[in-house]
């Protein structure tokens, strides 16, 4: 599998893609899987710097963790270099806009140049000529007639700006940059998450002043909890089996023998296999275990009717704890978060969406303790928008129900949103541009 992935990456690396197409990423990744962790980089005043730190440092560091397939960054201000051409000066110079585009494209080159092979290795060759600074772009020569040189800065302004935003993330009312961590298809979720946590601890000290990397969602916590419940169920089942044996045998000594007979019954077999035929002195422990084994066999042979009955009771005693085990180790939906999906008008701007999302967050914030929400997360974009309540550990919250641990009549999330929905008139029906599908839906990230 690894060799196949390397071969695919090598062939894709030789492709010459259009300028506006990003390089493809080849991952050993099951597309049906969701991120195993969602992180938020928050606290920085400059969202451009925050996005840059997430893109250039945190993303690369997290993707080097064993088991991590990719880390996707969203939110904040994504940087881009802008070239604002003065059409009048360009016409006066007799240069077309297409010539400017071609000159910039030709000078900014990163192309494959073949490969070199030796006995044990193969080396890919690339022609790297990409711009490294704004000044390199500004002094790019567009045309030269003798000593007359026309540079890009003569007909255009080159400056560092930000892309038009298409998605925004916010945690607890503070805009942040989100990092979604995906695992490789065959990686263990718990092991990968532990290594990511260790890497996060190392990265915290190197973050800009005031910035902090927080974990919004960690799928491994719920898996570890499920494993713990399985272990507890096994322990309870074993204790119940011992109690059933004790109730029938009514002797502690015989019950203890029955409990240990199965594992210790293998001891004589192992002894006969590993000990040679010549006479050897035996330890007191071995002699004692042999006597116990002989007594157990003698009891079983004289009470044969009891053996199947005890076996049946042991099996039955394990049925109840087994039925109580959550056999699906996937994240339990009502234990992860409560999600509210917005349905916005297509013509609604990001600014107007932000106002509506802020209004919903304002309704939820005073009731955070009642709802047992550790954080309030919102995401809105041109395509879709949502608000999530990430619940405290161990809290299960059913949609539209009262808050966990609260009596009837306590705060209801759906009732809260519907009763306080923005309205411009007496009608409470759906309104264009406003959210009208605000039901709380439990989901897994």
- Tell me, what's the pLDDT at 324? 61
For the chain, 445 residues long, give each residue's pLDDT as a single digit of tens: 566 667 776 776 766 666 666 666 666 655 446 788 999 998 777 888 888 889 889 999 999 999 898 899 988 888 888 899 998 888 888 888 898 888 888 888 777 777 788 777 777 777 777 788 889 888 888 888 888 888 999 999 998 888 888 888 888 888 899 999 998 877 888 899 999 999 999 999 888 888 889 998 888 888 888 888 888 888 888 888 888 888 887 788 777 777 777 556 656 666 665 555 444 555 677 778 778 878 877 887 787 777 777 777 766 776 666 666 544 454 444 446 777 888 888 788 888 888 888 888 888 888 888 878 888 889 888 878 888 888 887 665 544 444 444 434 334 555 455 444 444 333 333 333 333 333 333 333 3
Cα→Cα distances 98→95, 135, 269, 413, Å: 8, 21, 87, 56
Specify the pLDDT at position 277. 45
Nearest to 386 by CA among 376, 397, 396, 378: 378
- pTM comes to 0.60
Where are the domains positioned within the chain? 2-77+165-210, 80-162, 231-323, 333-443
Is the four-CA dihedral 59, 65, 66, 67 of positive or negative sign?
negative
Using DSSP, state whether 129 is helix, strand or coil. strand
Element (H, E) at 82: strand 79-85
The DSSP-derived string for 144-211 is EETTEEEEHHHHEEEEEEEPPP-EEEEETTEEEEEEEEEE-TTS-HHHHHHHHHHHHHHHHTTSPTT-
CATH code for residues 80-162: 3.30.2090.10
Looking at domain 2-77+165-210, its CATH superfamily turns out to be: Multidrug efflux transporter AcrB pore domain like (3.30.70.1320)
Q: What is the number of residues in the chain?
A: 445
What angle, rounded to 10 degrees, do the helices at 189-204 and 219-249 form? 130
φ, ψ for residue 280, nearest 5 deg: -135, 150
CB neighbour list of residue 213: distance below 8 Å, 6 or more residues apart? 39, 40, 41, 58, 200, 203, 204, 207
Cα 235 to Cα 138, 242, 269, 323, distances in angstroms: 72, 11, 28, 14
The C-alpha atoms of residue 345 and residue 435 are separated, in whole angstroms, by: 9
DSSP secondary structure letter of residue 339: E
pLDDT of amino acid 429: 39
Three-class SS of residue 439? coil
Domain boundaries 333-443, corresponding CATH code: 3.30.70
pLDDT computed for residue 271 by the predictor: 61
Please tell me the distance from the alpha carbon of residue 81 to that of residue 136, in angstroms, as a whole number: 12
Q: Measure the CA–CA gap between 13 and 120, rounded to whole angstroms.
A: 21
pLDDT of res. 334: 40
Same fold, 2-77+165-210 and 333-443: yes
């Amino acid at each position: 599998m690894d060799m196949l992935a390397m071969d695919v990456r090598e062939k894709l690396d030789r492709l010459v893609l259009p300028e506006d197409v990003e390089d493809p990423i080849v991952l050993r990744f099951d597309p049906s899987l969701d991120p195993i962790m969602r992180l938020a980089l928050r606290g920085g005043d400059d969202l451009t710097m925050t996005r840059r730190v997430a893109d250039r440092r945190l993303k690369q560091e997290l993707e080097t963790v064993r088991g991590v397939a990719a880390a996707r960054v969203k939110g904040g201000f994504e940087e881009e270099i802008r070239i604002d051409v003065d059409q009048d000066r360009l016409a006066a110079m007799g240069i077309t806009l297409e010539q400017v585009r071609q000159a910039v494209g030709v000078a900014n080159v990163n192309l494959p140049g073949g490969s070199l092979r030796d006995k044990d290795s193969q080396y890919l060759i690339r022609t790297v000529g990409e711009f490294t600074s704004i000044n390199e772009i500004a002094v790019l020569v567009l045309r030269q007639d003798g000593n007359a040189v026309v540079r890009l800065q003569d007909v255009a302004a080159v400056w560092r700006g930000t892309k038009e935003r298409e998605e925004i993330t916010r945690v607890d009312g503070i805009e942040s940059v989100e990092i979604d961590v995906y695992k490789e298809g065959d990686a263990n979720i718990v092991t990968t998450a532990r290594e990511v946590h260790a890497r996060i601890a190392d990265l915290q000290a190197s973050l800009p002043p005031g910035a902090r990397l927080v974990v919004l969602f960690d799928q491994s916590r719920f898996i570890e909890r499920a494993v713990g419940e399985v272990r507890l169920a096994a322990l309870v089942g074993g204790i119940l089996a011992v109690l059933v044996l004790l109730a029938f045998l009514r002797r502690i000594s015989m019950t203890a023998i029955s409990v240990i007979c199965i594992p210790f019954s293998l001891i004589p077999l192992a002894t006969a296999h590993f000990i040679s035929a010549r006479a050897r002195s035996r330890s007191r422990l071995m002699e004692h275990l042999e006597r116990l084994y002989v007594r157990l066999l003698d009891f079983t042979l004289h009470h044969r009717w009891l053996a199947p009955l005890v076996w049946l009771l042991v099996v039955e005693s394990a049925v109840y704890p087994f039925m109580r085990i959550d056999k699906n180790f996937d994240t339990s939906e009502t234990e992860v978060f409560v999600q509210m999906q917005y349905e916005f008008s297509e013509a609604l701007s990001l600014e107007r969406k932000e106002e509506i999302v802020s209004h919903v967050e304002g309704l939820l914030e005073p009731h955070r303790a009642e709802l047992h929400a550790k954080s309030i997360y919102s995401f809105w974009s041109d395509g879709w928008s949502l608000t999530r309540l990430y619940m405290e550990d161990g809290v299960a919250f059913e949609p539209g129900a009262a808050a966990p641990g609260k009596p009837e009549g306590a705060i209801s999330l759906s009732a809260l949103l519907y009763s306080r929905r923005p309205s411009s008139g007496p009608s409470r029906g759906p309104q264009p541009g406003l959210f009208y599908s605000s039901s709380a839906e439990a989901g897994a990230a």
